[in-house]
Amino acid sequence: MIELSAIHKSFRQGMQQVPVLKGIDVDIARGEFMAIMGPSGSGKSTLMNILGCLDTFDQGRYRLDGQAIESLDPESLAGIRNRTFGFVFQLFNLIPKLSAVRNVELPMVYAHVPRIERRERAREALAAVGLAQRIDHAPSELSGGQQQRVAIARAIVNDPQVIIADEPTGSLDSASGTEIMAIFHRLHDQGKTLIMVTHDAEIAGHASRILRLRDGRIEEDRRS
């Protein structure tokens, strides 16, 4: 489903272009559960942002279901991104002033889903992550693990094929991290493709494939 070949990406720092990805080749099949590991600064988040069509690249090719991503205009790219991917971040990225259910409704607001259907689907998504009793709570009234579950509900509410999670357990204690992994396993069993960055070898052990980056290159690509 995802085919990256010879992806290069650099960032400008002052007068210099600093290379961050130096030729990434990776194919990811539908239904895979992949962890991306590697030292801080090795390019993991940059790669995730490219995979999720949140960022562009300088050289190389990206085929998503056969579609050439580099040739799309920003509007088509945004359309593909919103239909294909759900995103989960380390710091949850919830809107503090909105209740859990309204946070989960947001992606459907952008997708022009009618209000009643929005509420219905947001409730279902929150129930799927075990938060049916917390839908009216603000993020500040929820634990870190619960906030991340709201973020997962928001990521899955438009039924994306792929979930992209950048250090989803990085701010959580290990019990909450284990709960998040249980949810990811369930989503994987339902056919979702999961791509997750983690520093934690135990968390990475939940995946069936581990990609290891070092200094902008793939150091290891291992399936279990």
Interacting residues toward ligand ADP by CB under 6 A = 11, 20, 38, 40-46
DSSP 144-205: HHHHHHHHHHHHHTT--SEEEEESTTTTS-HHHHHHHHHHHHHHHHTT-EEEEE-S-HHHHT
Please, is 163 exposed, middle or buried when counting C-beta atoms within 10 Å of its C-beta (0-12, 13-18, 19+)? buried
Q: Minimum CB separation from Mg ion for residue 111, in Å?
A: 28
**What is the separation of C-alpha 65 from the centre of its chain, rounded to a whole number of angstroms?**
18
Closest CA to 155 of 87, 82, 99, 106: 87
Using CB positions, name the residue nearest to Mg ion: 45
Q: Among Mg ion, ligand ADP, none, what does residue 16 contact (CB within 5–8 Å per kind)?
A: none
Whether 86 and 80 have beta carbons less than 8 Å apart is answered as no
Q: Among ligand ADP, Mg ion, none, what does residue 140 contact (CB within 5–8 Å per kind)?
A: none
Element containing residue 6 per DSSP (H, E): strand 2-13
Q: Minimum CB separation from ligand ADP for residue 142, in Å?
A: 26
Binding to Mg ion (CB under 5 A): which residues in 152-191? none
Q: Minimum CB separation from ligand ADP for residue 36, in Å?
A: 8
Q: Minimum CB separation from Mg ion for residue 41, in Å?
A: 8
**Nearest residue (CB) to Mg ion, 48 versus 180:** 48
Q: Among ligand ADP, Mg ion, none, what does residue 126 contact (CB within 5–8 Å per kind)?
A: none
Q: Among Mg ion, ligand ADP, none, what does residue 20 contact (CB within 5–8 Å per kind)?
A: ligand ADP
| Separation between Cα atoms, residue 124 and residue 180, nearest integer Å | 17
Q: Minimum CB separation from ligand ADP for residue 26, in Å?
A: 15
Binding to Mg ion (CB under 5 A): which residues in 28-87? 44-45
Q: Among ligand ADP, Mg ion, none, what does residue 146 contact (CB within 5–8 Å per kind)?
A: none
| Separation between Cα atoms, residue 74 and residue 82, nearest integer Å | 12
**H-helix segments, 68-114:** 74-84, 100-110
- Residues in touch with Mg ion (CB under 5 A): 44-45
